Amino acid sequence: MTALLIFLAATALADNLTVRPRTPEIVHYPCSTCHKDNLTGRRNPHPNIALKHATEATLTCRTCHGNQKMESLLSLNGKPIAFDDAYQLCGQCHSTQLKDWKGGAHGKRLSGWAEPRVIQNCTGCHNPHAPALGKRWPATRSSFKR
Amino acid sequence: MNNPFQILQDKPVDRRTALEMAVGMLTAGAGLALTSCNPIASAESKEKAQLNWQEYFQGNFRLMSEDEKTTTVERLERLHELNTGSRINVAKSGPREKVLFGYAFNISKCRGYMDCVRACVKENNQDRKNDVRYIRIHEHKNGQFAFEEANDEFFHDVPAAGHFYIGTQCFHCQKPPCVDVCPVSATWMEPDGIVVVDYNWCIGCRYCMAACPYDARRFNWADPMVPAEELNPNQHYLGNRMRRKGVVEKCTFCIQRTREGANPACVEACPTGARVFGNLLDPDSEIRWILKNKKVFRLKEDLGTEPKFWYYMD
Amino acid sequence: MNEPDRKSGPLASFFREGLAEVTHGSRRYHLWMASLTFLMCCGAFAYSVQIRQGLAATGMHDHVSWGLYISNFTFLVGVAAAAVVLVLPTYVLNDLDFAQAVLIGEAVAVASVVMAIAFVVVDVGGPARLWHLIPVIGIFNWPRSMLAWDILVLNGYLLINLALPFYILFAHYRGRTPDKRHYLPAVMLSIVWAVSLHLITAFLYAGLPARPYWNNALLGPRFLATAFTAGPALIIIILQTLRRVTDFVVEEATIQKIALVVTVAAQISLVMLISELFTEFYRTTHHGLSAQYLYFGLHGHNMLRPWIWTSIAMSVAATGMLSVHTIRTRERFLRLACFLLFAAILIEKGLGTIIPGFIPEPWGRIDEYFPTWVEIVVSVGIWALGCFVFTILCKIAIPIELGRRRYAGSSPAGVQAAQGVQFGGVARHGLGSKHHDPGGAG
């Protein structure tokens, strides 16, 4: 049901699938609420966000967010990418996962098998700043008794 | 009911129908006699006795007409109401056209969370007392595929370093050995590919359990028990309705959900997206994409069972 | 002992006299029947516990889903099939030495089949729903399900082994010679049927690729070999016992011929065992894990190991004894060897064939099995039922065969003639001599 409602507001991709929008879930959005000017050389702007994504040589905050138009993400080539299309950004480095995700081998389908296909951005499962999934305990013990 | 003799005289009735009528008359009459003979029983217990009597004589679901199926499921719903006071809905939905279900499991993605196991137990009203589960998750050491060496009793932080996880359940084989061996044809493959069991028809000989190479089937060695507050009331005759002791059950690809277009509970519950479900006959489906573009394999393929459950990796 | 009653027909008389025979006997007879009845009641009580609790009262579980009941069933089908060992020489080869023993053999067959059917009935989870097997009102999945085949051949075999001896006995009862044209086709049928019976039971297991321990070509022949060892061994013990406790005469030659069958079958059985051990253990694979578990234990689980090696030791010792002519001809040693073989094969079929087929389960777990008291008491009860049925059949048949019970309505001359007439029109002087006198009468 939720998927159906979101369907109306969602981004449509070419191949008959729908991606659940990301922007409603971002807490501080739009970014220009706080950031009126261009950012220059500031360190540690969001102390609550630790960047555990590749190495510092590979990416920093600015790699994805740029330092000018904070409402969008930034492609490697400087083109703006909407938050709702975040997969386009991630797919620049993770092209294999992007291909799998479009096909259905990566990520989780939100709608039933028969309904129109609704999937979500990478950020639906992965925290973009610390994308690795951590450990946890299993939901239940084994049923077998020794 | 019309004068049965009239019916028999007026038009030719084939032997099967005549027998059905005879049995129907017998059961109705005998049931009526039995229940009416007891002057102190309440109307409710009389109705219960009547319904139980009729249920005993019902035929194989696969051979029933639509009307008979309706009677059957309504009887089950009424019996549940009489026994527990609560209402359930037992569906009898048939297969969709041009649908053949298939399943894919990503070994790279499974992290041993067992959310699928818990969801399956809840969705399918499995026996809590005897801890019946359709799904098994096996923890393998890297480099070791043999299931004999895997551990299915793990209970620690997952995923454990140096290990990978494989889940098994009924694979809904396209050439199911369990269907061949059943002496009463209580189990069969539906047109949409789901291998089902008619729990009222099963005699409990467990030959199907011996024939299954995948440990897919479970037997109700005792009366199954589900706490009333945990009972899933959305049921299907061939799926998650309450079973009784002495019958075999197994994964049904959540027939009560999938025939309505939803995903099975395990697919829905898996947080990593390791489980994929869809229509093999739809060339645009995710499952077809996976079969075409990923390196897939099936388990014990050499046995020729043609399981509709593939494994793949990133 | 005959009650002259010319009013009733021969059939009614047959059953009435049979009933009289069964309800009268020596003190030892009544004690025997009473003990069996007591055991059957114990079995019934244990079964009632199982009905109430469900099969959870047994030691079976999802990974070893067949246990003591089906093991006994498998063994007993073999014993039943072995009646053909006596039927073949008697009717086809006209070997008179077997003439006395064949009806006993048929009684063993009937009792075994009754027990086998009983074991299946107590094993199913829904015995009240067994009517689902009946064609037309239920569904009978023949020819695809091997279990459907087995039900057909088992019940057919029971019918044949009831009809054929009944025909012979009834003819003798009426002082007539059984007509070869009537019984020979049934005899031929029963011989083929007996072999197919046990082969089909073996196919139940051999046809399952899911269980590599069973899925081999030798299982059927191995079943036949052990059946022809255990069945006739039991018959030998019974014949020796009957010789002692009744005045039923059994020629030593008869027993020796049966003993020869047992010997050869036991030897073939051993050869098959060697073949199986070699195939499983020359190079072990994952398909051989069941055999490893059985013979050597697996990952610390070795519950069945002492049983199978005891069984093999008994088989080897008994086969060795029987292979020596001077030992085989001594009654006491023969009886000992037969006991050893019967017990050895009971263990081997029970614990060594069915249970290891399930261990390890398809994904490699080792979940062992041991029967509970419910299973053991029900099994003992069913064995008591078999002994009960067998005793009844013998109690009816033996007096007729000894000439003590005859239909009072048959002519005196006919009765006299029948005194000495056995099979195939060949007469014999009295009982106990091997004098062949074609065409003559006693």
Predicted confidence at residue B11, as pLDDT, reads 47
- How, if at all, do strands B309-312 and B101-106 pair? parallel
Retrieve residue B120's tokens.
């399956």
Would you say residue B1 has pLDDT above 50? no
Q: Is any Cβ of chain B less than 8 angstroms from the Cβ of C358? A: yes
Retrieve residue C367's tokens.
């979940």
Which chains would you list as touching C if contact means 3+ CB atom pairs under 8 Å?
B
From A73, A84, A78, select the one nearest A13 (Cα to Cα). Answer: A84
Is C209–B209 a contact, with Cβ atoms under 8 angstroms apart? Answer: no
Smallest CA–CA distance, residue C291 to chain B, in Å, is 15
Cβ atoms C362, B303 nearer than 8 A: no
d(CA B255, CA B250): 11
Dihedral sign for Cα atoms in the order B29, B30, B33, B38: negative
d(CA C412, CA C392): 28
Average pLDDT over residues B89-101: 96
Average pLDDT over residues C257-285: 94
Q: Is B299 inside any structural domain?
A: yes
d(CA A26, CA A28): 6
Number of cross-chain residue pairs from A and B with Cβ atoms under 8 Å apart: 105
Cβ atoms C97, C433 nearer than 8 A: no
pLDDT band for position A37 (50/70/90)?
low
Among A3-7, B253-257, B268-272, C386-390, the range scoring the smallest mean pLDDT is A3-7
DSSP state of C130: G
For the ranges A89-98, B17-26, C83-92, the one whose mean pLDDT is highest: A89-98
Q: How far apart, in Å, are the Cα atoms of A119 and each of B111, B116, C206?
A: 21, 19, 48
Q: Are residues B139 and B285 in the same domain?
A: yes
| Backbone φ, ψ for residue C255 (5° rounding) | -65, -40
| Backbone φ, ψ for residue B14 (5° rounding) | -70, 160
Retrieve residue C366's tokens.
């080792």
Strand (E) or helix (H) holding C99: helix C99-123
- SS3 assignment for A71-127: CCEECCCCCEECHHHHHHHHHHHCHHHHHHHHHCCCCCCCCCCCCCEEEECHHHCCE
Q: Is any Cβ of chain A less than 8 angstroms from the Cβ of B167? A: no
Number of cross-chain residue pairs from B and C with Cβ atoms under 8 Å apart: 148
Window 116-145 of A, Cβ < 8 Å to B: 117, 125, 133, 135-144
Smallest CA–CA distance, residue C303 to chain B, in Å, is 19
Which of the residues A99, A108, A113 would you substitute to probe the B interface, choosing the one with the greatest number of B C-beta atoms within 10 Å?
Answer: A113
Q: Is B274 inside any structural domain?
A: yes
Predicted confidence at residue B279, as pLDDT, reads 97
| Backbone φ, ψ for residue C35 (5° rounding) | -60, -45
Strand (E) or helix (H) holding B122: helix B115-123
Smallest CA–CA distance, residue B67 to chain A, in Å, is 27
For chain B, how many structural domains are there in total? 3
Strand partners, A127: A130
Question: Residue A50, CB half-sphere, CA atoms under 13 Å: how many?
Answer: 3
pLDDT band for position A69 (50/70/90)?
confident
Would you say residue C161 has pLDDT above 80? yes
CATH number at residue B182: 3.30.70.20
Would you say residue C312 has pLDDT above 60? yes
Smallest CA–CA distance, residue B246 to chain A, in Å, is 20
* Host domain of residue B189: 177-252
Is C362–B221 a contact, with Cβ atoms under 8 angstroms apart? Answer: no
Q: List pLDDT tens digits, range B119-166.
A: 999 999 999 999 999 999 999 999 999 999 999 999 999 999 999 999
3-class secondary-structure state, position B3 = coil
Is A138–B289 a contact, with Cβ atoms under 8 angstroms apart? Answer: no
3-class secondary-structure state, position C196 = helix
Would you say residue C88 has pLDDT above 80? no
Q: Is B23 inside any structural domain?
A: yes
Cβ atoms B310, B103 nearer than 8 A: yes
Predicted confidence at residue B16, as pLDDT, reads 58
Cβ atoms C407, C14 nearer than 8 A: yes
Q: List pLDDT tens digits, range C104-149.
A: 888 999 999 999 999 999 999 999 999 999 998 999 999 999 999 9
Strand (E) or helix (H) holding B100: none
Predicted confidence at residue B298, as pLDDT, reads 97
d(CA C140, CA C286): 36
| Backbone φ, ψ for residue C86 (5° rounding) | -90, -35
Predicted confidence at residue B31, as pLDDT, reads 58
Q: Which residues of B touch A115 (CB under 8 A)?
A: 261
Q: Are residues B182 and B295 in the same domain?
A: no
Q: Which residues of C touch B23 (CB under 8 A)?
A: 137
Rg (CA), chain A: 18
Is B157–A137 a contact, with Cβ atoms under 8 angstroms apart? Answer: yes
| Backbone φ, ψ for residue A118 (5° rounding) | -120, 120
Q: Is any Cβ of chain B less than 8 angstroms from the Cβ of C141? A: yes
Q: Are residues B164 and B283 in the same domain?
A: yes
| Backbone φ, ψ for residue C95 (5° rounding) | -85, 110
d(CA B6, CA A138): 66
Q: Are residues B15 and B141 in the same domain?
A: no
From B109, B165, B107, select the one nearest B136 (Cα to Cα). Answer: B165
Would you say residue C237 has pLDDT above 80? yes
Q: Are residues B158 and B193 in the same domain?
A: no
Q: Are residues B133 and B280 in the same domain?
A: yes
Beta strands in chain B (DSSP E): 89-91, 101-106, 136-141, 163-168, 187-189, 195-197, 217-219, 234-236, 248-250, 275-279, 296-297, 309-312
pLDDT band for position C431 (50/70/90)?
very low
Q: Are residues B70 and B206 in the same domain?
A: no
From A10, A12, C409, C427, select the one nearest C418 (Cα to Cα). Answer: C427
Cβ atoms C404, C412 nearer than 8 A: no
Predicted confidence at residue C304, as pLDDT, reads 94
Pick A139's closest partner by Cβ from B117, B131, B276: B117
d(CA C373, CA A64): 71
Cβ neighbors of B294 (< 8 A, separation 6 or more) are: A100, A105, B104, B312, B313
Smallest CA–CA distance, residue C416 to chain B, in Å, is 52
Smallest CA–CA distance, residue B259 to chain C, in Å, is 27
Read off the amino acid at residue B95.
Answer: P
Q: Which residues of B touch A142 (CB under 8 A)?
A: 152-155
Q: List pLDDT tens digits, range B158-171.
A: 999 999 999 999 99
Give one DSSP letter per residue of C170-194, joined into a string. HHHHTT-PPPHHHHHHHHHHHHHHH
Q: List pLDDT tens digits, range C69-82.
A: 999 999 999 999 88
d(CA B52, CA B41): 15
Strand (E) or helix (H) holding C365: none
Is B118–A139 a contact, with Cβ atoms under 8 angstroms apart? Answer: yes
Is B155–A114 a contact, with Cβ atoms under 8 angstroms apart? Answer: no
Average pLDDT over residues C230-234: 93
Cβ atoms B59, B17 nearer than 8 A: no
| Backbone φ, ψ for residue C297 (5° rounding) | 85, 155
Q: Say what the pTM is.
A: 0.88
Smallest CA–CA distance, residue B81 to chain A, in Å, is 29
Determine how many CB atoms are found less than 10 A away from the CB of residue B229: 6
What b/e string do you get for C70-90 counting C-beta neighbours within 10 Å, with b at 16 or more?
A: bbbbbbbbbbbbbbbbbbbbb
Q: Are residues B83 and B206 in the same domain?
A: no
Tokens 């087995």 identify what position? C150
Q: Is any Cβ of chain B less than 8 angstroms from the Cβ of A58? A: no
For the ranges A45-49, C160-164, C357-361, the one whose mean pLDDT is highest: C357-361
Q: Which residues of B touch A94 (CB under 8 A)?
A: none
Residues in chain A: 146
Q: Which residues of B touch A136 (CB under 8 A)?
A: 113, 157-158
Q: Is any Cβ of chain A less than 8 angstroms from the Cβ of B133? A: yes
Q: Are residues B162 and B192 in the same domain?
A: no
Would you say residue C233 has pLDDT above 50? yes
DSSP state of B158: B
Q: Give the residue on A whose Cα is nearest the Cα of B96.
A: A114
Q: Is B302 inside any structural domain?
A: yes
Domain boundary, last residue among B43, B64, B91: B91
Work out the burial of residue C188: count CB atoms within 10 Å of its CB; fewer than 13 is exposed, 13-18 middle, 19 or more buried.
middle
Q: Are residues B227 and B122 in the same domain?
A: no
Q: Is any Cβ of chain B less than 8 angstroms from the Cβ of A106? A: yes
Give one DSSP letter per residue of C241-298, joined into a string. HHHHHSS----HHHHHHHHHHHHHHHHHHHHHHHHHHHHHHSS--GGGHHHHHHHH-B
Q: Is any Cβ of chain B less than 8 angstroms from the Cβ of C360? A: yes
Is B183–C54 a contact, with Cβ atoms under 8 angstroms apart? Answer: no
Domain boundary, last residue among B26, B58, B91: B91
Give one DSSP letter per residue of C300-314, joined into a string. TB-TTHHHHHHHHHH
Smallest CA–CA distance, residue B263 to chain A, in Å, is 5
Predicted confidence at residue A32, as pLDDT, reads 75
Tokens 């991630």 identify what position? A90
d(CA A34, CA C216): 77
Cβ atoms C82, C199 nearer than 8 A: no
Among A10-14, B298-302, C304-308, the range scoring the smallest mean pLDDT is A10-14
List the domains of chain C with CATH numbers: 10-431 (1.20.1630.10)
Domain boundary, last residue among B69, B91, B113: B91
d(CA C233, CA C283): 35
Q: Is B197 inside any structural domain?
A: yes
Predicted confidence at residue C8, as pLDDT, reads 74
3-class secondary-structure state, position B305 = coil
Listed as own residue / partner, the contacts of A36-39 with beta carbons closer than 8 Å and 24 or more positions apart are A38/A67, A38/A68, A39/A67, A39/A68, A39/A70
From B77, B118, B81, B119, select the one nearest B235 (Cα to Cα). Answer: B77
Determine how many CB atoms are found less than 10 A away from the CB of residue A9: 12
Q: Are residues B87 and B109 in the same domain?
A: no
Would you say residue C432 has pLDDT above 50? no
Q: Are residues B87 and B118 in the same domain?
A: no
Would you say residue B10 has pLDDT above 80? no
Q: How far is CA C440 from the centre of its chain?
A: 36
Predicted confidence at residue B22, as pLDDT, reads 62
Is B152–A106 a contact, with Cβ atoms under 8 angstroms apart? Answer: no
Q: List pLDDT tens digits, range C15-39.
A: 888 898 899 989 999 999 999 999 9
Q: Is any Cβ of chain B less than 8 angstroms from the Cβ of A34? A: no
Predicted confidence at residue C297, as pLDDT, reads 94
pLDDT band for position C247 (50/70/90)?
confident
- How, if at all, do strands B187-189 and B195-197 pair? antiparallel
Predicted confidence at residue C435, as pLDDT, reads 37
Q: Is any Cβ of chain B less than 8 angstroms from the Cβ of C211? A: yes
Which chains would you list as touching A if contact means 3+ CB atom pairs under 8 Å?
B
Q: Which residues of A touch B110 (CB under 8 A)?
A: none
Predicted confidence at residue C434, as pLDDT, reads 38
Q: Is any Cβ of chain B less than 8 angstroms from the Cβ of A47? A: no
Q: Which residues of C touch B300 (CB under 8 A)?
A: 362
